Chain A
């Protein structure tokens, strides 16, 4: 088990999400950076959907109740385990009583702590992810607080425990020609794109959008020049998914994220492709975002590229374990 000692901001238990409850109004939730969560689980030879802790702010501190293999992926958070520095995207071994401390994020916006076997909170409606709006899943359906104790599933006894690291996704999957300090995400245009004239569309594509403080797991509210439709658009409510970029009447885009509502009616100009959604999860408040148009087949190719990165990691981890066992 793990005891939370100190926490700032809404840290929560997340797996990959809850994907088939839309008809009851229940959104997906799940890790904002799904690649980081998967990579952490792969490093630990866990099921990739095993639950971990999403940590959006530092300082953050916890104590391990027993010997535990763990991995830290996602944002580089200046971690140390009982005074020993732990590199980012790294698997390590804690002893019972060890304190893990995340001091300050220097790259990225969310760190993920995964543990051998996974965080063992009850599965609710098919997932362990915290659904804040529905107050379900995770630990009592809420963000973590100091004093919380999280049970961990006993890991496979044959599982690996040595130190092991991997190349962070933001380096391995870096976008070519991305300007420094700007997160570029690919989008497929959505239903109401044609309701904006060329000037408005240009503003959407060419602006560096500022991530406002009103950005969280529900959505990222952006600030920049107003993108106005040719005439006001009032739509009947329809299903939406994480990644949908809505433009409310004030002309300031909102990107729906993992805790988004399952439906909405503001016009949709585009949708961030699934393969790039994690990049937004790693874009911090005050950061800059830019949209790049892509076509559906290229969006699928981008997803394949993510799969290839994870496949490679999986193969490498397996090979290393086999080598160690042979000795």
Chain B
């Protein structure tokens, strides 16, 4: 087993390699991931460097014959990585908490021992930073959620979750950009276009952008 203060590096078959940074889920660590991604995207044989939440996946152009040098490069790169601050755009998203789409608002309230109004206001309080894009086209993982409203992912993922769903999974939150399967708990919804393949850059948001939620209404 890897010691908790060392990075974890593991293979995803012959398609990709995953680097998981040690330490907490916070912006300083994420900024170092962005720096490592910028570095690694230029390495030969790397197709794409994709930041996750305090982790980084490298997909292979062609799988390397041996991965040792890539493992060393990732470890050295992490040690050298300085915090990369990205100045992005800021957006505000009005949210309807609860209701049919946000039907897990009550589940989160029950799990945390808070009222539904408290869950909504605690969720809408912080200024969130887009840590990474992933899951489905245009989806943003947001950092900065108050740990008081954290809830484990679903035991069994849902086959379909609506587009615009504002959800919590573990200590993370985000907004579904389109309908699809999900293992998270939807507590509300918003209407905004996160993705359009005809745009020069297809995703509206990028790592470093910030999002603030506004409580439009709470349906109990």
B48, B137, B181: the one within 8 Å of A136 (CB) = B137
Given contacts A241-B59, A303-B63, contact A250 B52 (CB under 8 A): no
Contact B18 A24 (CB under 8 A): no
A-B Cβ contacts below 8 A, count: 186
Residues in chain B near residue A19, CB distance under 8 A: 47-48, 59
Closest 8 pairs (CB-CB, A-B): A239-B57, A263-B134, A271-B13, A191-B10, A134-B137, A238-B52, A236-B53, A24-B203
Say if the beta carbon of A261 comes within 8 Å of chain B.
Answer: yes
Bound complex: CA A80 to CA B140 (Å): 47
Measured CB to CB, the closest approach of chain A to B83, in angstroms, equals 18
Q: Which of A20, A136, A218, A237 has the most CB of B within 10 A?
A: A237
Measured CB to CB, the closest approach of chain B to A224, in angstroms, equals 15
**Chain B residues packing against A (C-beta within 8 Å):** 1, 8, 10-16, 18, 20, 25, 47-57, 59, 63, 65, 67, 132-139, 141, 152-157, 159, 169-170, 172, 177-178, 180-181, 183, 195, 197, 201-203
B12, B63, B170, B201: the one within 8 Å of A265 (CB) = B170
Query: Looking across the interface, which residue of chain B has its beta carbon closest to that of A303?
Result: B14
Measured CB to CB, the closest approach of chain A to B86, in angstroms, equals 13
Contact indicator per residue, chain A 256-284, by CB within 8 Å of chain B (1) or not (0): 00000111111010011111000000000
Contact A20 B134 (CB under 8 A): no
Looking at chain A's contact residues, is the secondary structure mostly helix, strand, loop, or mixed? Answer: loop
Q: Which of A21, A26, A238 has the most CB of B within 10 A?
A: A238
Residues in chain A near residue B180, CB distance under 8 A: 133, 218, 261
Measured CB to CB, the closest approach of chain B to A44, in angstroms, equals 25
* Chain A interface residue count, Cβ-Cβ cutoff 8 angstroms: 57
Residues in chain B near residue A188, CB distance under 8 A: 11, 13-14
**Chain A residues packing against B (C-beta within 8 Å):** 19-27, 124-125, 131, 133-136, 187-188, 190-191, 194, 214, 218-219, 232, 234, 236-244, 248-250, 252, 254, 261-266, 268, 271-275, 296-297, 299-300, 303
Enumerate 7 A-B pairs (CB-CB under 8 Å) in ascending A order. Answer: A125-B202, A133-B178, A191-B20, A237-B141, A239-B12, A239-B59, A263-B134
Given contacts A22-B50, A248-B156, contact A234 B197 (CB under 8 A): no
Residues in chain A near residue B57, CB distance under 8 A: 22, 238-241
Bound complex: CA A219 to CA B159 (Å): 11
Measured CB to CB, the closest approach of chain A to B39, in angstroms, equals 15
Q: Which of B10, B25, B195 has the most CB of A within 10 A?
A: B10
Contact A134 B13 (CB under 8 A): no
Contact A236 B135 (CB under 8 A): no
Bound complex: CA A201 to CA B168 (Å): 30
Measured CB to CB, the closest approach of chain A to B203, in angstroms, equals 4
